[in-house]
Amino acid sequence: MPKKVLVTEPIVDSVINKLKAHFSVDVGQRGDYNSEEALIRDIPQYHAILPMLSNPITSEVLKAGERLQIVANHAVGYNNIDVDAAHKENIYVANTPDVLTDSCAEFTIGLILAVSRRLFEAQRYLLDGKFDGWEPLGFLGKELQRSTLGIVGMGRIGQAVAQRAKAFGMDIIYHNRSRLAPETENTFDASYRADIERLAEEADILTLHCPLTDETKHLVDKEVLSLLGEKAILVNTSRGPVVDEKALAEALHDGTIGGAALDVFEEEPNVHPRLLAAPNCLLTPHIASASQETREAIGMLAAEAIIGILEGQDPNKIPNLIQP
């Protein structure tokens, strides 16, 4: 009997076909496994699961997975998985680092440009039929050249953003759990700030690339927003709860900060209603990694980890397993 794999939602065909060459594969419909209940009901029959980050892989789900050997998340962030509980049950956990770095960094730069130059407001103005000829004072934005970019989380994605921002002539400051090696800092001319408050005070644009943990929940709160200041822009492509969304909505409405671009939200897929109506706020539906190339690479990396574990490869040779 071939081993059984559950892919919780349709993903690119090439990945499903790769898995099918080795295993019996079931593919759920969109949203089928967004509840713990559905996962607990179906998980006992599977040897591996390839979940989306909208699927809660809790300790109860893992306990119910009596045959489960690996959870291979279709994402780099894995805050939807209780990793400690998985390791207690001797279940491997994999994520998809590296393959989405460029896609997310490009998208982040796109958001920064779009908000700085007010692209979406301007498009709406035109579509609303308000464009009545070139205006010397219309839609004045701010250039990136000589602006200061504050990067929170200087991992792979943060560094890829820094590399691109440097090409735009931005000054780069960053905050990270641990300071980078001097050679790495020099690559980006990036200078370290020991706390997020200092970073916010100096940054024209603050962009978030840290994982969601107990320490980073609401890292960007009312105080940080007020330090950012009335001209500054906040960009979040990391995880929604890193920002206190209610405080952000207020800060946009009362002009405490100048603008924001958000690809992630505290209670996805719900967006705080005050954010929907906030000025100079660009909202996208969690698509930073959504390039054709990257979504295929994400799926392949997850599939390879599943094949490796279910076929008894040395786990040390599987690069994307989360270490206990």
Q: Which residues of the shown chain bind ligand GLV in the complex (CB under 6 A)? A: 53, 75-77, 97, 100-101, 155-158, 209, 211, 289
Instruction: Decide whether 193 or 209 has the Cβ nearer to ligand GLV.
Output: 209
Report the candidate in 314, 312, 307, 219 with the shortest Cα–Cα distance to residue 266. Answer: 219
CB of 264 to ligand GLV, least distance (A): 7
Catalytic residue among 106, 250, 268, 296: 268
Spatial separation of the C-alpha atoms in residues 233 and 252, rounded to whole Å: 10
Catalytic-residue membership of 198: no
Give the gyration radius of the chain's Cα atoms: 21
Catalytic residue among 164, 209, 286, 295: 286
CB of 110 to ligand GLV, least distance (A): 16
Instruction: Decide whether 20 or 156 has the Cβ nearer to ligand GLV.
Output: 156
In the bound state, the residue with its beta carbon closest to ligand GLV is: 155
Catalytic residue among 121, 239, 295, 304: 239
Give the DSSP H or E segment for 175.
Answer: strand 171-175
Catalytic-residue membership of 239: yes
CB 66 within 8 A of CB 89: no
Spatial separation of the C-alpha atoms in residues 52 and 100, rounded to whole Å: 15
CB of 49 to ligand GLV, least distance (A): 16
Q: Which amino acid is at 18?
A: K
CB atoms within 10 A of CB 303: 28
First to last CA, the chain: 31
Instruction: Decide whether 116 or 289 has the Cβ nearer to ligand GLV.
Output: 289
Catalytic-residue membership of 66: no
Instruction: Decide whether 23 or 33 has the Cβ nearer to ligand GLV.
Output: 33
Spatial separation of the C-alpha atoms in residues 87 and 309, rounded to whole Å: 14
CB of 160 to ligand GLV, least distance (A): 8
| Residues that are catalytic | 239, 268, 286
